[in-house]
Amino acid sequence: MKCLYELNYELLEDLVKGKLNLENWLIRNQDIRRRKDAISYSDRYAILKNRASELSFLFSETEIVSWLDTLSILWNVFNNIGDEYLRHNIHIFQEYCIPFSNKRADYLLAYDNKILILEFSFSKLGYEFNYETKLQQAIGYKELLSNILPHEVDIGTYTFLIEPEESEYGKMYYVNDSNDLPNDWKMNSLAEYIEHFFKKNINLAVESLKKYD
């Protein structure tokens, strides 16, 4: 299969903390082209650009900024998943190329017989990827995958709206005089949703029988 990265939690952590040094990454309230210009000579930018080029991906260089943003967010989301076994056994596919199409999903998360299509949209950041567009994309990807995968595969979708976390001058946007940043509660919510989605119907047969005890 063709994707930018195929990861598990350990590989995601190594990519985010080790190779790309995104542990303290913040999403700046600035036009994406200016953000791209600010990091275009960095090692992290070169790593992702070279990776995409080696895989013959068609991409714009501004997309690299969104890849960095979403990798940082996804790593934090996984750190918030309470079920350690689930956290370490979900397969992660970044920029997954949908077969028989020219479409790419931001992320596919796969575990057991379930696939979660995860799309990221951006608020107030000068990105062309607004929420409604990404929501419709996720639904379209679900339809494409459902047509080629066995009907036993349960496919879900989730669209995450990213908020800026600091001003263009580096001032952090704390929420209500707390130490929380605007995306913190959203990352917690996504972590809870991932647990709910991948755990639904586990032991369904046994639990259904128990109803008649």
- The confidence score (pLDDT) of residue 74 equals 98
> Is residue 134 within 8 Å of residue 169, measured between CB atoms?
no
Running DSSP on this structure, what letter comes out for residue 17?
I
- The confidence score (pLDDT) of residue 34 equals 93
Q: Which two tokens stand for residue 137?
A: 């994309």
Compute the half-sphere exposure of residue 126: CA atoms within 13 Å on the CB side of its CA. Answer: 13
Considering the entire predicted model, what is its pTM?
0.91
Strands 104-111 and 114-122: antiparallel
CA 91 – CA 27 distance, rounded (Å): 25
Which helix (H) or strand (E) segment is 62 a member of? none
Of the candidates 161, 56, 149, the one whose C-alpha atom is nearest the C-alpha of residue 110 is 149
> Residue 125 region, left (φ>0) first, then alpha (ψ -120 to 50), else beta?
alpha
What are the pLDDT tens digits along the chain (213 aa)?
A: 899 999 999 999 999 999 999 999 999 999 899 999 999 999 999 999 999 999 999 999 999 999 999 999 999 999 999 999 999 999 999 999 999 999 999 999 999 999 999 999 886 655 556 778 888 899 999 999 999 999 999 999 999 999 999 999 989 999 988 889 999 999 999 999 999 999 987 766 556 656 666
CB count within 10 Å of CB 166 equals: 17
Of the candidates 35, 55, 44, the one whose C-alpha atom is nearest the C-alpha of residue 15 is 44
Q: Which residues of 69-82 are buried (b: 16+ CB within 10 A; e: fewer)?
A: bbbbbbbbbbebbe
CA 156 – CA 201 distance, rounded (Å): 14
Max Cα-Cα span within the chain: 66
**Among residues of the chain, what percentage have pLDDT more than 90?**
80
